[in-house]
Amino acid sequence: MILKRNGLLVLLTSLLFWTCTFISLDAFAERLVQGKIQYHANLWSRLQNGFALALPPDSKIVHRIGASYSQNPEFFNRIIANSERYLYYIVEEVERRGMPMEIALMPVVESTYNPLIKSNSQTAGLWQFQPETGRILGLAQNVWHDDRRDIIASTQAALDYLQYLYQKFDNWKLAIAAYNLGEGAVSKVLSRSIHKGRSGNFYDLNLPVDAKHYVYKLLAVKDIIVNSKKYGIQIRPIANRPYFDQIKIHEPIDISLVTRLANISEVEFSALNPAYNRYVIKVSDAPRTLLLPKNNKEIFLKNLETYQDPRVSWQFYRVKKGENINEIAARHRTTVMQLKTINGIARHKNVTLGQKILVPHDVTENQADNIARKKKQLQNYQSNVYVVKKGDTLYEIAKRYGTTVDQIKSWNDSDENLSIGQKLVIVKS
């Protein structure tokens, strides 16, 4: 009996001990998670946690390049400001693939994190792909869009290519140098060095100065991030959370309509969707990806769901023999200036035979007559333009202006559905 009691006491004591231990472990684990979240509240801390490339044995050149940035801190902080839209996504992808976090800083060197930067060497996008390299990596380039500038597509292609180069050279510094110089050129230098019994170490290879400087520049940017105080640069924090959301577009849509329905500026749209070359997002066999600020995705989807008018107001037209831009503009009820602006035609240039240009969608005769009649009617009246706000209804707007719902619908060729930002003509007699 005593043995049984003693055994029971031991069991109870053990249970109590392990219960307290588990509670302590849970609390400890929770503190660890909270500490990790707090540690990575700033995206730069997350980057530093993933840095893996050592500085060279003699790091004077790295410090010298870093000092050139410190002499112009405004320029460096402009680059940081450019990166705010894209850096979280790239960090996520680099981390997911188990790559050194220095890779996320390569667009600093390539494009100053500006996907719309123009280069004399025909390179484009955050990762500055040449046209041929882009095509090899599956980045489509046509009159509608250039995927070398697409944030998602170009980042995936760049990281795929860098992983391929790492598998080839088994060294990240050589892989990064090959991204800049070309894998063939780096392979030749490496083979020549090994054939002569010399070291295959990146710092010992007789690589071109530009290729080595490219890697040193990347390491200098990394050193500034780690030791910003040493360089006298105050790096603005970036929140460790997504900046944008992805949306699949299955039907063509005007870019101006996207900005209106999403309630964003054209500048913001272009920064997130720099791949699009025209005023229309063209959708062929596969859907296109649209990026919107995280807070604007639901606004766009809600407004798109209730939007009933045509989503595309432009179409392609091929110039016929003997036609000039004045005749085309008149036929499509637009102006020469508008056609030239939309198609990027220089002020003193004309169109050429077979050239494809964007023109307004054809308007039927009945539609044209209705438009002309309504314009003539409105000339005899004063009119206000009301911009639809969240929660507005046609009934409330009609009541506010002392008119009827049917009258507002007649003036605007609209139905009951409203979208935020929509402009309504309100006529006063």
CA distance 316 to 205: 53
Tokens of residue 86, six digits = 């894209």
Dmax over Cα atoms in the chain, in whole Å?
Answer: 114
Q: Is the dihedral of CA 423, 249, 122, 186 positive or negative?
A: positive
**CA angle (21, 24, 27) in 5-degree steps:** 150
Q: Which of 95, 102, 110, 365 is catalytic?
A: 110
Q: Do the Cβ atoms of 305 and 418 come closer than 8 Å? A: no
Phi, psi of 25 (to 5 degrees): -65, -45
β-bridge pairing 423-428 and 382-387: antiparallel
| Token pair 């308007």: residue | 363
Tokens of residue 318, six digits = 């091929």
DSSP symbols for 374-415: HHHHHHTSEEEEEE--TT--HHHHHHHHT--HHHHHHHHT--
| 102 is an active site residue | no
| Token pair 């749209």: residue | 269
Q: Which residues are catalytic?
A: 110
